[in-house]
Structure 1
Amino acid sequence: MTLKVLFASALLAISAAVSTAFAQSGTVNFYSSMVLDVVEPIIAEFQTRHPEIKVDLLYSGSVELEQRIFAEIEAGNLRADVIWAANPALFLNLKEAGWLQRYDSPHADALPPSLKDEDHMFFAGRVHHMGIGYNTNLVSADRVPQTWAEFLEWGPRAAMASPLHSGTNFNLMGAFVQNEAIGWAWFEKARQAGVQVVRGTGDVTRGLTSGEFAVIKGIDYIMAAEAAKGAPVGFAFPKDGVLALPSPLAIGKNAPNVAAARVFVDFILSPEGQQVLVDRHFMPVRGDIDPPAGLPSGEIVVLSTDVEWLAERGPELRERFADLY
């Protein structure tokens, strides 16, 4: 009798192990608008660690990806196991419409509240910030702007990309306007001080590295990448707040392979997954990993931004900025 019980127990254990292994194999349908320089290294490292799981990437630009997702939803069959995109509003809409599923990842506690949905419907898999970039040949350590008001003190040697052409600068403009301590008054003072406006992020970055500008509204990972190439640039997180742009990660409600999707999400949020991003100059979403070389460590103050408010008032905000500049 004892032998029969032990044998039966062993069969159950083997069956459970085989079932789990099978569930965590197969293919993950991965929908993403993240740049390939981000997703391809993530996929490569994941499949090195999990050869039993194939990642089938559907890659597209943000607008095209959202159109694909909503077309599948309209047809009643969202086929994505995992979605990773740069637009937080997309995930708010998908959550509200009931097209995401909750996942209590074991890595959730490593993320600050601002980088995860309170119901664990999505998490930030990547985040980048807009703060103050500066030319280290022109700005001494004791003169690095610590606030947005100090940024204005550089007058014509300060610059920003136009919110009419740069999406990140448009989002920062919206964050400024929603912050009573900064508001439209900051832009009026910027114009009076002679702060320059150029077309795009690439233009303002080239102006900084060449020495045309001393300080700019800069993006953290771009500044870190330039510094790694030997450019004389540094980056500061202003004490009165930076713009944080999370790129959410979620599991679709009707995910065909939920078990494998969870393994993939866990890897992206894990120290190993985040290190892949840090190696490409992105700040980690976890607080237990050092930032990339060239970026400061420590607490980051984030400006509160109402994404829906910003989307509704986009034309109005752009028109007012155009009137100023």
Structure 2
Amino acid sequence: MKHLRNAALALLAGATPALAQPSGAITVYTSQPQEQMATVVQAFNKDYPDVQVEIFRTGTTELMSKLQAEFTAGATPADVLLIADAVAMTQLKNDDRLLAYADAPLDGIPADVVDPDKTFFGTKLITTGIVYNTGMVQDAPASWDDLRAPEVAGSLIMPSPLYSGAAVIHVGTMAQQPEFGWGFYEELAANGAVAGQGNGTVIEAVARGEKAYGIIIEYMAMNAKADGSPVDFVWPDQGVSAITQPVAIVKGTDNEEAARAFVDWQLSKTAQEQSVAQGYFPIIEGVSPPEGYPALDSLKILPLDAARLMADDQANKEQFADLFGG
């Protein structure tokens, strides 16, 4: 009873008792690289030291399969999702698997990266372009069409939408563009292009010189370049696909307070600045992009019909697998 008496005395004295900080454990399912997530958790715990964060990390497509199996079995250990696929988040929302968070701190967050029903929130911008090995390529590609040449396509690797959420978005976006469509991928396959699994397999192959070119999300290529790998990256002048890596709370979490704290932190300026240090475009105005990146307003973002992509998702994966294997 001593703590209650002290609180009462504080109120009588005009003081406001400190609110309890979130505590306990949460599990975050994510597609963000493991080493980056370790840094994220470390920074999060500076602000929320009493929350223990467990991480499960895999590619978005595999992660979604795991979630669906767990939902079918009756429950998932996941409290928070941080995945590179707003379309997958939309499907989870439509399936009533996400918890609305109406009071999320959205100051400075663009409305177009926030679900209208406040069930998920974009945390960064990730674009897909072209990586190349600087020791193998003399003339850097400037456009997607440059990849069509047989001598280029024959040494090209790309991530698979059967594994990567970013690849789901990129392949779906390209398939919707009249100037590309599935004919673009058919031409690449006919000329010898191959698919790996996630974006990590792409940067490894290009950095080691196994392939001269790759289709990849920008931060993996730019981080490899900064670490000394013989690679460089191009944002094609014809446009790039983009994802927002949304964060969401899983409906049924047994630690909603700590889950909300994780979302709050992901939407904070501190997290945005950390994202920049990890090679991501920020979404909050006033936070500069990483060194060597173009200004966001200088990039052409290819349009995407998300509803059409969701409807075509399985067919897109099957068509990709027919061309490149799965």
TM superposition score normalised by structure 1: 0.75
Partner of 1:160: 156
Q: Write the letter of the residue equivalent to 2:301.
A: V
- Whole-angstrom CA distance in 2 between matches of 1:99 and 1:66: 14
2:141/2:147 contact within 8 Å kept: yes
- Whole-angstrom CA distance in 2 between matches of 1:254 and 1:185: 44
- Whole-angstrom CA distance in 1 between matches of 2:208 and 2:65: 38
Partner of 2:82: 84
Q: Residues 182, 64 of structure 1: CA spacing in aligned structure 2 closer, same or farther, 3 A cutoff?
A: closer
CA offsets per residue over residues 55-95 of structure 1, 9 Å max, x none? 331525454675457635864x6665433234444422332
Aligned length: 305
2:29/2:63 contact within 8 Å kept: no
Partner of 1:56: 53
Correspondent of 2:123 among 103, 122, 125: 125
* Percentage identity across paired residues of the two chains: 24
2:272/2:282 contact within 8 Å kept: yes
Partner of 2:24: 27
1:278/1:291 contact within 8 Å kept: yes
CA offsets per residue over residues 15-61 of structure 1, 9 Å max, x none? 6x44xx22x3222523313332122211111111222x313315254
Partner of 2:256: 258
- Whole-angstrom CA distance in 1 between matches of 2:285 and 2:135: 31
Q: Cα RMSD between the aligned structures?
A: 3.7
- Whole-angstrom CA distance in 1 between matches of 2:248 and 2:36: 17
Q: Residues 13, 58 of structure 1: CA spacing in aligned structure 2 closer, same or farther, 3 A cutoff?
A: farther
Unaligned runs of 5+ in 1: 1-6
Q: Shift of residue 264 of structure 1?
A: 2.0
For residues 93-242 of structure 1, the aligned pairs below 5 Å read: 93-103=91-101, 104-107=103-106, 109-111=108-110, 113=112, 115-136=113-134, 144-152=140-148, 155-158=150-153, 159-161=155-157, 167=164, 168-169=166-167, 171-190=169-188, 194=191, 196-200=192-196, 201=199, 204-205=202-203, 208-209=206-207, 215-242=213-240
Report SS of the residue matched to 2:116. Answer: coil
Q: Residues 125, 317 of structure 1: CA spacing in aligned structure 2 closer, same or farther, 3 A cutoff?
A: same
Q: Shift of residue 131 of structure 1?
A: 0.6
- Whole-angstrom CA distance in 2 between matches of 1:211 and 1:66: 33
Q: Shift of residue 189 of structure 1?
A: 4.8
Q: Write the letter of the residue equivalent to 1:311.
A: D
- Whole-angstrom CA distance in 2 between matches of 1:242 and 1:166: 20
Q: Shift of residue 223 of structure 1?
A: 0.9
Report SS of the residue matched to 2:228. Answer: coil
Q: Residues 203, 125 of structure 1: CA spacing in aligned structure 2 closer, same or farther, 3 A cutoff?
A: closer
Larger Rg: 1
TM superposition score normalised by structure 2: 0.74
- Whole-angstrom CA distance in 1 between matches of 2:322 and 2:72: 36
Q: Residues 219, 93 of structure 1: CA spacing in aligned structure 2 closer, same or farther, 3 A cutoff?
A: closer
- Whole-angstrom CA distance in 2 between matches of 1:12 and 1:95: 47
